[in-house]
Amino acid sequence: KPIELATVRIFRAEDNKLLESRITRKDGHYGLLLEPGEYKIEVDAKGYEFPARDGTYKGEAFRVHKPLILALDIPLDPEENN
């Protein structure tokens, strides 16, 4: 399900420098314009954990070959109460 008010952070992969942050909208969407390069993403949302156990994106570096608007769906797991 879409998660609003999640923080999506994009880092340059080579040195983990934070490049940009976005807050997801009510529909859970966000958009980031990326130039060619290698990046990593982290997501924070209250009551959820990143990366998701069964998610397709686990925080690994990925390469962008031409400018694009990133709008990747990134699954999160609900936090487990101990």
pLDDT in tens, 9-40: 999 999 999 999 999 999 999 999 999 999 99
* Residue matched to tokens 């999160």: 76
Distance from C-alpha of 3 to C-alpha of 49, rounded to nearest angstrom: 12
Distance from C-alpha of 41 to C-alpha of 29, rounded to nearest angstrom: 15
User: Structure pTM?
Assistant: 0.89
Give the residue-averaged pLDDT of 51-58.
Answer: 90
Alpha helices (H) along the chain: none
Q: Which two tokens stand for residue 81?
A: 């109460």
Dihedral of the alpha carbons of 49, 54, 58, 64, in degrees to the nearest 10:
-130
Distance from C-alpha of 30 to C-alpha of 82, rounded to nearest angstrom: 31
